[in-house]
C-alpha cells in the first residue's frame, strides 16, 4: 500500500481520495526560520523549501489533484537582501531547467502568475519556454508558480488590459461581469482554489490570490514549509473534507 494511503497515527482523520480538492494553493512560508533554527543561512532554508515543493508537487500529481499553486516570490520580496533574492531566483531557474527536461515524462504543466516583465531575461525566457512547452503536455496536473506576484498588482494589470480592450473596441464597459474580469487575471481559465494553506504559524493572506480565494477554505499550521510533508497535506485535506461549503447558500 502506498505510504500516503496508510491510516494516519493517533486521532488524525483519513483522507477520502475520491473527494479531493481540484485546486490547492500554498504560501510556502517559514524557510528563514527553519534555517535559523539549524544555524544555517536563510538561503539554505529556501533550498530546503524548494525540495519540499518538489515532494508536494509530485504527491499532488500522484493522488490526482489537478492544480497546485505556490507563492514563490511576491512583489514585496524584492526588499530582501540581494544575496537572498539571487538565491531564490537561482532555485527557480534550476527547477525550470529540470522541468523542461522532464515535463512530458512526468506529466506536469507549468504556469506562472505574476508580472514576469521585470525578471532577468534568462529567467523570463525559461518561464515563457516552460509555459509554451506545457501546451504539449496533456492536461491533468498543473503547477502554477506565483513569481513577482501580488494580488493587488494582478488586479491592476487585469483592469488595465481590460481598459485597453475597451478602447480598442474589443470589450464593452457595459458588459463587465466577474467572469469577464476573471478572464484578464493571471489565473484565467483556471478554477479558483478550494483550499489555501499557510504553514509556519502566520495567519494572513499576504496578497496571495485575494480575488480567487473569495470562497476558499483556509488551513493553517505551525509546521515550517521545509518540514511540510505529504502527511501534513493529508491532514489539511482531511480537515477540508469536513468543511460545509455553502458558497453563500444555506
**Secondary structure of residue 146 in the 3-state scheme:** strand
Residue carrying C-alpha cell 531547467: 97
- By beta-carbon proximity to ligand FPP, the closer residue of 88 and 197 is 88
Interaction between residue 70 and ligand FPP (CB under 6 A): yes
- By beta-carbon proximity to ligand FPP, the closer residue of 127 and 237 is 127
- By beta-carbon proximity to ligand FPP, the closer residue of 95 and 184 is 95
Q: How far apart are CA 164 and CA 22, in angstroms?
A: 33
Q: How far is the CB of 9 from ligand FPP (least distance, A)?
A: 27
Calculate the alpha carbon distances from 206 to 96, 114, 183 in Å.
25, 14, 23
Residue from 44, 53, 134, 146 that binds ligand FPP (CB under 6 A)?
53
Interaction between residue 233 and ligand FPP (CB under 6 A): no
Q: How far is the CB of 250 from ligand FPP (least distance, A)?
A: 39
Q: How far apart are CA 34 and CA 245, in angstroms?
A: 34
What letter would DSSP give residue 140?
S
Residue from 15, 24, 25, 32 that binds ligand FPP (CB under 6 A)?
32
Beta sheet of 23-27, edge-to-edge order: 109-113, 142-149, 67-74, 23-27, 195-198, 217-220
What letter would DSSP give residue 25?
E
Q: Identify residues 76-115 at the interface with ligand FPP (CB under 6 A).
A: 77, 88, 91-92, 95
Calculate the alpha carbon distances from 139 to 108, 131, 210 in Å.
8, 13, 25
Please give the helix or strand (H or E) that residue 202 lies within, else none. Answer: none
Number of residues that bind ligand FPP (CB under 6 A): 18
- By beta-carbon proximity to ligand FPP, the closer residue of 14 and 76 is 76
Enumerate the active-site residues: 29, 77
Residue from 25, 145, 190, 232 that binds ligand FPP (CB under 6 A)?
145
Residue from 4, 8, 22, 33 that binds ligand FPP (CB under 6 A)?
33
Interaction between residue 240 and ligand FPP (CB under 6 A): no
Got the DSSP string for 68-137?
Answer: EEEEEEETTGGGS-HHHHHHHHHHHHHHHHHHHHHHHHHT-EEEEES-GGGS-HHHHHHHHHHHHHHTTS
Which segment (9-17, 48-56, 127-135, 159-167) binds ligand FPP by CB under 6 A? 48-56
Where along the sequence are the contacts to ligand FPP (CB under 6 A)? 28-33, 46, 49-50, 53, 70, 72, 77, 88, 91-92, 95, 145
Amino acid at each position: 500500500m502506498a505510504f500516503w494511503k496508510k491510516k494516519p497515527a493517533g486521532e488524525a482523520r483519513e483522507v477520502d481520495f475520491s473527494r479531493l480538492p481540484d485546486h490547492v494553493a500554498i504560501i510556502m512560508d517559514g524557510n528563514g526560520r527553519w534555517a535559523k533554527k539549524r544555524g544555517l543561512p536563510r538561503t539554505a532554508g529556501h533550498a530546503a523549501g524548494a525540495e519540499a515543493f518538489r515532494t508536494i508537487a509530485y504527491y499532488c500529481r500522484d493522488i490526482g489533484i489537478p492544480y497546485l499553486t505556490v507563492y514563490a516570490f511576491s512583489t514585496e520580496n524584492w526588499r530582501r537582501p540581494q544575496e537572498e533574492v539571487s538565491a531564490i531566483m537561482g532555485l527557480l531557474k534550476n527547477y525550470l531547467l529540470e522541468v523542461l527536461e522532464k515535463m512530458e515524462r512526468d506529466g506536469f504543466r507549468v504556469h506562472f502568475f505574476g508580472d514576469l516583465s521585470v525578471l532577468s531575461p534568462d529567467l523570463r525566457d525559461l518561464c515563457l519556454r516552460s509555459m509554451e512547452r506545457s501546451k504539449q503536455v496533456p492536461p491533468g496536473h498543473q503547477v502554477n508558480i506565483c513569481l513577482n506576484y501580488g494580488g493587488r498588482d494582478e488586479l491592476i494589470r487585469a483592469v488595465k488590459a481590460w481598459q485597453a480592450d475597451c478602447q480598442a473596441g474589443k470589450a464593452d464597459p457595459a458588459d463587465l461581469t466577474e467572469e469577464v474580469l476573471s478572464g484578464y487575471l493571471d489565473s484565467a481559465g483556471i478554477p479558483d482554489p478550494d483550499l489555501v494553506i499557510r504553514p509556519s504559524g502566520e495567519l494572513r493572506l499576504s496578497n496571495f490570490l485575494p480575488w480567487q480565494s473569495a470562497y476558499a477554505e483556509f488551513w493553517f499550521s505551525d509546521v515550517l514549509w521545509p518540514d511540510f510533508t505529504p502527511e501534513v497535506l493529508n491532514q489539511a485535506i482531511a480537515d477540508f473534507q469536513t468543511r460545509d461549503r455553502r458558497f453563500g447558500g444555506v
